[in-house]
Amino acid sequence: MGILRNIKTIVLLLGVLALVAACKESGKINVSEKENTSVYYFIRHAEKDRSDSTNKNPSLTLQGLERANKWALFFKDKNIAAVYSTNYKRTQQTALPIAKEQNLEIISYTAKELISEKFIADNKGKNIVIVGHSNTTPELVNSLLGEKKYEDIADRENNNVFIVTLNKNKTTAKRVKVN
């Protein structure tokens, strides 16, 4: 009976070791997939000053500056590797708290030239924030998706984030409201 118990114990230990080894190997695959997965967070600039309708480059309102700080908190734990913004005051002011929180410089971009093979390759495996406008933000998301899934953002809507996930198998996108 003692020998039988020892054999059962040995078989049980071998099974546990095989299970641990399988879990460890599975973890390697997940790490590799994570390294090859890029996540792009597209947001529209926060609330802009509308007091002068002739001003084509307005700053953010106090509410907009508060929202920009909320975006910084939203992205705080997302391991952001780069923050892109157009050269307008409102997008730069929206991007600034995010970049400061992540200890990054803001990278200026032109919407027509942003999405390219080089951009995708340079940001492979990274989490990126792109601050844009009501029309360019959905255009850039659609460009990454290769389809027209999203329409322009409503003029007074400043609380959406489009999350685009790219990996070698597929590209997905979702739109989330953040208050």
Instruction: Name the average pLDDT for the chain.
Output: 88
Question: What one-character-per-residue DSSP string does 31-55 give?
Answer: HHHHHT-EEEEEEE--PBP-S-TT-
Q: Are residues 85 and 110 in the same domain?
A: yes
Average of pLDDT values for 85-112?
A: 97
What is the residue range of 160's domain?
37-177
Give the pLDDT confidence score for residue 3 in this predicted structure.
Answer: 65
Confidence check: pLDDT of 29 > 90: no
Q: Are residues 1 and 79 in the same domain?
A: no
Give the pLDDT confidence score for residue 179 in this predicted structure.
Answer: 83
Residue 7 or residue 151, greater confidence: 151
Q: How confident is the model at residue 26 (pLDDT cuts 50, 70, 90)?
A: very low
CATH code of residue 140: 3.40.50.1240
Residue 10 or residue 89, greater confidence: 89
Q: Are residues 82 and 125 in the same domain?
A: yes
How many domains are there within the chain?
Answer: 2
Place of tokens 């157009």: 86
